[in-house]
Amino acid sequence: MSVTDPSDLRPVAPPPFARMGSVRPNSVGLARDGWRDAYHILLTLPVSAFLGVLAATYLCVNALFATLYLLDPGGVINARPGSFVDAFFFSVQTLGGLGYGVMSPKSLYANLVSTSEVFLGLLNLGIATGLLFARISKPTARIMFSNRAVVSPLNGEPTLMFRAANRRRNLVIEAEVSVTLIENVTTREGSVLRRFQELNVVRSRTPLFFMTWQVMHVIDEVSPLWGETTKSLFDKQAEILVVIKGMDETFASTIHARTSYMPDEIVWGGRLADIFTTDPAGVRHIDFRKFHDVEAAR
């Protein structure tokens, strides 16, 4: 097998298919969980959308109770009869426990409504606090991957290589990496299936992952990549999926990170630039400015 693909280091047109996980398929016939999955939805929303949901809920609750207060004209002292604005801001004061004293409930009905609103306010405060804490305290990985993978000789054998780095300066304990080739295959019956094949790496785990990790897969006769080229991988709509997981010592929880390499992101005949240097005092340095650089194989 030749290490150098005809494309060499020249740019390749992007694939006409989507990266795995970037586009979610439309589900037909699957029942919606609705409010039963609201907690998961709120935890996975973007920050702006999450804050928007909280703000919209807050305004809707106040508008609802303002409408209830309007049902009893004169039930709130110093509130103008029929004024939605006064009723709304009285609801804001009640829900937040501000107690300015300018307006206060007068009738039994208004007192019952304000009591219900105070209870709902405490409940909403607890839910909002719990959601915010869950989002802030959720363990996250700060692992970065090289933009491109390369195929270059290693001990005389073509080897797929890419690297990862822990952007935090803490330790990821018992880190593991899995590399999977995802491609389309056609059965004898003519059906097209999406096949997952594991790519065995030279070192699949490391007891301590705190700086960089160069992941390597030897392309020998038993490798699913044996005989493949950029064009053949394009034809199969192939993608190389990478998942790293381990125990973060700071969070004391399992974290994970993933990326994938499309056919146009694999440089055949290239090599990852050397990022390690040693100064005159013998101290080693890592130059992350070259982390994504690819050079021609020597």
The structural domains of the chain, with segments of one domain joined by +, span: 34-137, 143-296
Is the pTM higher than 0.85? The answer reads no
Q: 210: burial class by Cβ within 10 Å (0-12, 13-18, 19+)?
A: middle
Instruction: Summarize pLDDT for 206-261 with one digit per residue, the tens.
Output: 998 888 899 999 999 999 999 999 999 999 999 999 999 999 888 788 889 999 99
- Mean pLDDT of the 258-287 span: 88
Q: State yes or no: pLDDT of 160 exceeds 90.
A: yes
CATH H-level, domain 143-296: superfamily: G protein-activated inward rectifier potassium channel 1 (2.60.40.1400)
State the CATH architecture for 34-137. Orthogonal Bundle (1.10)
Provide the 3-class DSSP secondary structure of residue 170: coil
Those residues whose C-beta lies under 8 Å from the C-beta of residue 162, and which sit 6 or more positions away, are 145, 146, 148, 149, 150, 214, 215, 242, 261, 272
**Within this chain, domains 34-137 and 143-296 share the same CATH topology:** no
Dihedral angle computed from the Cα positions of residues 71, 74, 79 and 84, in that order, rounded to the nearest 10 degrees: 20
Q: Among 51-55, 178-182, 252-256, whose mean pLDDT is lowest?
A: 252-256
| Closest-CA residue to 120 (of 69, 75, 49, 58) | 58
